[in-house]
Amino acid sequence: MKILILRRIVQIGLLVLFALGSFAGCKILQGDISSSLFLETIPLSDPYALLQFFASGAFVGSTAIIGGLIILGFYAIFAGRAFCAFVCPMNLITDFAAFLRRKLNIDSLGEGAGFSRKLRYWILGLSLVVSFVMGIAAFEAISPISAMYRAIVFGSGVLSAGLLGALCVFLFDLFGQKHGFCGHICPLGAFYSSISHFALLRVKYDNDKCTKCMKCKQICPEPQVLNIISKESGSVNSGECTRCGRCIEVCADYALKFSIINFAK
Amino acid sequence: MQRRSFLLGGIKAVGFAAAGGIVWSAALSSSKANALSLRPPGAVVESEFLKRCIRCGLCVEACPFGTLKLSGNGDVPLGTPYFKPREVACEMCEDIPCVPICPTNALETELVSRDGKLDYRTMKMGVAVLDHETCLAYWGLRCDACYRVCPLNGEALLIELKHNERTGRHSYLLPVVDYSVCTGCGKCEQACITEKPSIFVQPREVAMGAVGKHYIQGWNPEDEGRLDVNRVIKPRDDAASELNSFEFNTDDFGGEK
């Protein structure tokens, strides 16, 4: 439970800080997840949004580029795809949908719609092509993630769009496909997956302690990343691992844990 | 057979991508179509603004008067900042806090600066347009609500006097907007006493014409500098030039001398 609680504290804590910035003039964190200002000095920007900007031919300022590099560096070098599990507000929705699927036994009906996990990379690629053709950041214009964040941070005026976006994702994940949005559709998750191959923070697996109960694979939102389970000890190297820690928490044998990979070894 | 299925798979993928791309582009073009929204001061032209705005809301948070809002409906592209003067007009802050905070240069400091210093008088959010049919002052009634609230009154908004022929003994006091000075802050629209405002702010691209670069104001020394006296206009080699090339003579057309 500890990692889950930590994730919820980070997710909701960031939302609260952004909302305080918007409603109470608190200067710790201003803006929202697409671009923000930390302590009135350090810019932070969504690197995937900036990638779409470059594709669309927009000339953005150095502030946004510096902010994008900071975020890109943090996830690419250290945290991997942890954005999806620790920051993204949609994770609250999709985790809740996955929880309901388990409780209501919807999972027993099968995976659902049957979209491929590769679809998100196609959407990622397509978003850049459409950005280039249309001259506007394609995913930013329709992103349910940004819409939901805005709804919480800025309230009334933008509430309905954010709620509708979140509701669509919720219903799709609940009835459409298991882990449907985050695991198959979302190009932002695909972007963080593709930059996370060399991130230091990884889940480490000890085959000697494992009793092959496979609970980790059942709970994992990206079970294909746990392909070493019951085969060999090692670390989970796929960029698609969200570092959510569910596998670690569900494991009764202490066979899984977070580790900072040591390249010197 | 394997090659064939590989090819078919490739065609299928490209087909799906094309279909998705077309739907996606259509959704974007409909969201881009509306050019009627009023943007914060310092905004670059609308098409470029939509490219650059990352929709983070930093300008909205910086606005001390709650003028700027993020769009949450279809009227204005989702998540971009705009303002509705009839609800809350722009107060034209001296330090213009909404502009320098923009991380992506969708709002440019240079566009609201003069001689390297922020100057609220250079703001160009829009321009106030006046409906003469519904403005009470144009009926001959005494109303100068818009003039009184205009932060640049006497410059951006003037009162012109004109004899009222209907009564024969009164004067019209007519509000007139100087488009070259008006910032589009919308205080006039907010203050207008008619049910639907008779003076209202429109984006400059919507409300204003464009004369074209080939007109030069000969009486304006600055503008006349654009005139290139050494430019030689070569006749084109086509039928119209041929007609224009000979000396004009009314004889050719059977006219009288």
Nearest to A88 by CA among A109, A71, A111: A71
Distances (CA, A) of A261 to A176, A234, B150, B214: 37, 10, 64, 67
Contact A161 B72 (CB under 8 A): yes
ipTM of the complex: 0.87
pLDDT over threshold 90, residue B42: yes
The pLDDT mean for chain B works out to 87
For residue B51, the chain A residues in CB contact (below 8 A) are 53, 56-58, 135-137
For residue A151, the chain B residues in CB contact (below 8 A) are 72
Residues contacting A123, CB < 8 A, separation 6+: A185, A186, A187, A190, B20
Contact B69 A122 (CB under 8 A): no
| Mean pLDDT, residues B25-31 taken together | 80
Angle between helices A144-154 and A159-171 (to 10 degrees): 140
Nearest to A126 among B17, B72, B78 (CB): B17
Distances (CA, A) of A108 to A102, A103, A111, A114, A158: 8, 11, 8, 15, 37
pLDDT for the residue B241: 66
Q: Give the residue from chain A lying closest to B59, CA to CA.
A: A31
- Dist. CA B40–CA B69, nearest whole Å: 10
> What one-letter code names the amino acid at A82?
A
Query: What is the percent of chain A with per-residue pLDDT over 70, rounded to a whole number?
Result: 98
For residue A35, the chain B residues in CB contact (below 8 A) are 54, 56, 58, 103-104
Contact A37 B13 (CB under 8 A): no
Query: Comparing A2-6, A109-113, B12-16, B67-71, which segment has the lowest mean pLDDT?
Result: A109-113
For residue A135, the chain B residues in CB contact (below 8 A) are 47, 51
Q: Give the residue from chain B lying closest to A26, CA to CA.
A: B61
- Dist. CA A183–CA A119, nearest whole Å: 9
Contact A157 B101 (CB under 8 A): no
3-state secondary structure of A254: coil
pLDDT over threshold 70, residue B51: yes
pLDDT over threshold 50, residue B92: yes
- Dist. CA A201–CA A109, nearest whole Å: 35
Please give the structure tokens belonging to residue B185: 């802050």
pLDDT for the residue A226: 92
Residues B142-183 pLDDT 10s: 999 999 999 999 999 999 999 999 999 999 999 999 999 999
CB atoms within 10 A of CB A65: 18
Structure pTM? 0.83
Q: Give the residue from chain B lying closest to A163, CA to CA.
A: B72
Contact A43 B27 (CB under 8 A): no
More confident residue, B48 or B257: B48
* Per-range mean pLDDT, top range of A18-27, A126-135, B19-28, B222-231: A126-135
CA dihedral A198, A204, A205, A206 (to 10 degrees): 130
Residues A117-140 pLDDT 10s: 889 999 999 999 999 998 889 999
pLDDT over threshold 90, residue B221: no
pLDDT for the residue B257: 47
Residues B175-214 pLDDT 10s: 999 999 999 999 999 999 999 999 999 999 899 999 888 8
> What one-letter code names the amino acid at A232?
E
Are residues A121 and A183 in contact, defined by beta-carbon separation less than 8 angstroms? no
Q: Give the residue from chain A lying closest to B26, CA to CA.
A: A134
Residues A221-249 pLDDT 10s: 999 999 888 888 888 888 999 999 999 99
Are residues A111 and A177 in contact, defined by beta-carbon separation less than 8 angstroms? yes
Chain B residue set in contact with A, beta carbons under 8 Å:
13, 16-17, 20-21, 24-25, 27-29, 31-32, 47-48, 50-52, 54-58, 60-62, 69-73, 77-79, 101-105
Nearest to A130 among B13, B21, B104 (CB): B21
Contact A158 B79 (CB under 8 A): yes
Contact A36 B50 (CB under 8 A): no
pLDDT for the residue B23: 86
For residue B104, the chain A residues in CB contact (below 8 A) are 35, 53, 58, 60-61, 63-64
- Dist. CA A92–CA A15, nearest whole Å: 12
pLDDT over threshold 50, residue A95: yes
Are residues A18 and A36 in contact, defined by beta-carbon separation less than 8 angstroms? yes
Residues contacting B55, CB < 8 A, separation 6+: A34, A140, A146, A150, B70, B78, B79, B80
- Our CA-based measurement puts residue B122 at a distance from the nearest CA of chain A, in whole angstroms, of 21
